[in-house]
């Protein structure tokens, strides 16, 4: 199994999403993470799987004392884009592990749907309003 093949990193698999992580405290840790990425690439090739190169994301968080943040490489040697935010299973987090963008998106979407419902339906009775709220906004 893939997770047993990795020596130094944590891998998370869910459906077709794969996340690999490792605490980086030295240059050696960076090398070990790249080696684990290479193990994943080899495993994928042996199992006739392909990664979507457009969905590769690299994110660093926490303090990087004396460690230069550099992009890791894909199996073809291309640099993985370093991002400030990442979407994982529908949740958006930034490199400070804050969810402000995610919360703002939910609030905006809820306001838009509330406006649509209030313009579409003239009733303001509690029961139908609660049903609409629970069906279309609360999710």
Q: Is residue 88 part of a domain?
A: no
Q: Is residue 106 part of a domain?
A: yes
What pLDDT score was predicted for residue 33? 92
The residues near 80 (Cβ < 8 Å, ≥ 6 apart) are 56, 57, 58, 71, 72, 73, 74
Question: Could you tell me if 125 and 74 lie in one domain?
Answer: no
Question: Could you tell me if 79 and 13 lie in one domain?
Answer: yes
Closest CA to 56 of 17, 24, 10: 17
Closest CA to 92 of 104, 108, 80, 82: 104
Q: Please tell me the total count of domains within the chain.
A: 2
Question: Could you tell me if 75 and 23 lie in one domain?
Answer: yes
Question: Could you tell me if 9 and 77 lie in one domain?
Answer: yes
Question: Could you tell me if 64 and 122 lie in one domain?
Answer: no
pLDDT digits (tens, 9 = 90+) for 6-17: 878 888 888 878
pLDDT digits (tens, 9 = 90+) for 19-62: 888 888 888 989 999 999 999 999 989 999 888 878 888 888 77
Q: At 117, is the pLDDT very low, low, confident or very high (cuts 50, 70, 90)?
A: very high
pLDDT digits (tens, 9 = 90+) for 100-110: 999 999 999 99
Identify the domain containing residue 127 by its residue range.
99-139
Q: Is residue 89 part of a domain?
A: no
Question: Could you tell me if 70 and 6 lie in one domain?
Answer: yes
Question: Could you tell me if 18 and 48 lie in one domain?
Answer: yes
Question: Could you tell me if 14 and 68 lie in one domain?
Answer: yes
Is the pTM higher than 0.85? The answer reads: no
Interior/surface letters 43-67, b for 16+ CB within 10 angstroms, e for the rest: eeeeeeeeeeeeebeebeeeeeeee
Question: Could you tell me if 106 and 62 lie in one domain?
Answer: no
Q: Residues 66-94: what's their mean pLDDT?
A: 85
The pLDDT mean for the chain works out to: 87
What pLDDT score was predicted for residue 93? 86
């Amino acid at each position: 199994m893939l997770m047993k093949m990795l020596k130094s990193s944590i891998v998370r698999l869910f459906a077709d999403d794969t996340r690999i992580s490792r605490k980086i405290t030295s240059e050696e840790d960076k090398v070990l993470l790249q080696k684990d990425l290479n193990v994943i690439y080899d495993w994928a090739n042996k199992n006739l799987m392909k990664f979507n190169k457009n969905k590769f994301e690299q994110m660093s968080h926490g303090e990087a004392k004396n460690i230069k943040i550099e992009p890791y490489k894909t199996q073809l040697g291309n640099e993985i884009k370093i991002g400030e935010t990442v979407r994982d299973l529908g949740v958006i987090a930034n490199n400070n592990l804050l969810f402000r963008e995610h919360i703002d998106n939910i609030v905006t979407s809820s306001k838009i749907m509330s406006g649509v419902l209030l313009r579409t339906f003239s009733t303001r009775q509690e029961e139908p309003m609660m049903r609409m709220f629970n069906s279309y906004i609360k999710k």
